[in-house]
Amino acid sequence: MSFSQRLTFLPDNLRSTWLALGFMVLLGGLIGAVGWATGVIGSPSPPAEFDVYVNQGSRAGTEAMTRDLNQQHPAGTDLVPLLNRLQRAGFDCRADYRQTSSYACLFHRMMSDRRVARVDLTILTDGLRVRGITPVLVVSTR
């Protein structure tokens, strides 16, 4: 093959190479975008606010949660910030019709190590003010 014949093959080979590289970059970008959008690729989600108590176990977690919630939202404080905080953390809070002036909040979460965390939280109120917070944390293995 002479030098002039090699030059005629070079542009076709070069074009095929660039097309193949472009296709691979496009395909890699598409796979990356789909992986990022579905959560397969990316940073892990931050731990939930109440995972600290769940990791302490049922008894110690209940005591720590009771102490912390009653310090952060003592009797006489406004009820709405407490309800908003609990709902942001994943609690389902509803007015408890069995007892007047109270709310029943439920938190249920599957943990990564085959444990199930459940928090039953009762908020006693006098209408718009907190009178007391009583959580019960149960961590069980599935």
Distances (CA, A) of 30 to 17, 25, 34, 59, 90: 20, 9, 6, 48, 33
* Domain shared by 38 and 79, yes or no: no
* Domain shared by 26 and 57, yes or no: no
Distances (CA, A) of 113 to 61, 81, 142: 17, 32, 9
User: Domain limits at 130?
Assistant: 51-141
Structure confidence by residue, pLDDT tens digits, 73-116: 999 999 999 999 999 988 999 987 777 789 999 998 887 778 88
* Domain shared by 71 and 25, yes or no: no
pTM value is: 0.63
SS (H, E, C) 51-95: HHHHHHCHHHHHHHHHHHHHHHCCCCCEHHHHHHHHHHCCCEEEE
CATH number of the domain at 120, please: 3.10.450
Binning pLDDT at 50, 70 and 90, where does residue 71 land?
Answer: very high
* Domain shared by 10 and 69, yes or no: no
What's the mean pLDDT when you consider all of the chain? 82
Would you give the distance in Å from CA 21 to the centre of its chain? 38
* Domain shared by 38 and 68, yes or no: no
Number of domains present in the structure of the chain: 2
* Domain shared by 89 and 132, yes or no: yes
- Dihedral angle sign, alpha carbons of residues 47, 48, 54, 60: positive
Distance CA 122, CA 66 (A): 11
